[in-house]
Structure 1
Amino acid sequence: MQLALIRVDHRLVHGQVTMGWTRSVRADALVVVSDRAADDPFEASLMRMAVPHGVAIEIWGVTEAADRVRAANLPAGRVLLLVATPVDLLPLFAAGLSNTEVNIGGVRSPGASVKLTKEVHATPEEIDAWKALAEKGVELSVQWLPDQKRRSLNADVVRR
């Protein structure tokens, strides 16, 4: 397994991911980490239908994903890992995920009162998660589409 990209985007599987990012990183598989999606067969079904032909998809809850990271039991090939919030990402790093960069799309959780960028709004819990990731040396890059310029979020969250 090669982790081609980690993306935080509250929409999870949608057009920018399926058409832009999956192609850009040449992903063989999407791994969606979301308790909500894992527990909702209808939402999971919609995600499966949106994935491009030839790309596999796995949908796991956060605990299952952390267990799989710990056991190095991830899909073969180039994997695009998707989570909705940085809070869902922290347990994966605690389980041994060691990537140095996280790509960030739109993140707007209910109750998010802190605007970090036009695309990224955060709850206090999410601010803490972003800070924890930055303190681990993870580069947090806001970038909607592969051909757009990246903007670092690290300085914004460390100041808070």
Structure 2
Amino acid sequence: MSIIAVRVDGRLVHGQVANLWTTKLNISRIMVVDNDIVNNDIEKSGLKLSTPAGVKLSVLPVEKAVNNILAGKYDSQRLFIVARRPQTFLDMAEDGVPFDTINVGNMSQSDETRSISHSINVTDDDVKAFEALNAKGIKLTAQMVPSDNTNDLMKMLK
């Protein structure tokens, strides 16, 4: 399996993902998994512009991402998967995609969220998805950039 990193980040591909994480982990493909963005040409264009030169980008709905990963389509690449919400990764895990660790980056504040750190804001549904991922034995961490300490997300949720 070629999944090198998995990240929840509401901003998807941006400076931290495109430059810091991709460089540190020597990523060859960023996969954005989002059922809505696949139909939004403007957002897809922005993601393409944010992707570093020499790194491939896939923007896929959950079902196609799962099928491609399980079929071994990316086995020769170093894959970094990014989604806005933890539910996306729960759906993928329930469909058979093996995740060891999911890193949580920025999750923006809204009227429905509560803050668990200066950059991570969760809804009740996010908490349920994180708890379900944790119950599957997937390690959940919070780390904005590679040079930051890694924190246990489940302890932050308490």
TM-score (normalised: structure 1): 0.90
Partner of 1:25: 25
For each residue in 1:78-122, what CA deviation from the matched residue of structure 2 results, as whole angstroms up to 9, or x when unmatched?
000001000111111012122211111001264432222222111
Matched, 1:68 2:68: yes
Distance 1:65 1:38 in 2: 11
Indicate the SS of the match to 2:27. coil
The answer (yes or no) to whether the contact 2:2–2:74 under 8 Å persists in 1 is no
Indicate the SS of the match to 1:27. coil
Q: Which moved more, 1:53-62 or 1:74-83?
A: 74-83
Aligned amino acid, residue 99 of structure 1: F
Distance 1:63 1:116 in 2: 30
Matched, 1:145 2:145: yes
TM-score (normalised: structure 2): 0.91
Deviation at 1:69, TM superposition (A): 3.4
Partner of 1:53: 53
Partner of 2:135: 135
The answer (yes or no) to whether the contact 1:29–1:78 under 8 Å persists in 2 is yes
Aligned length: 158
The answer (yes or no) to whether the contact 1:87–1:126 under 8 Å persists in 2 is yes
The answer (yes or no) to whether the contact 1:33–1:81 under 8 Å persists in 2 is yes
Q: What residue ranges of structure 1 are gaps of 5+ in the alignment? A: none
Distance 2:135 2:114 in 1: 20
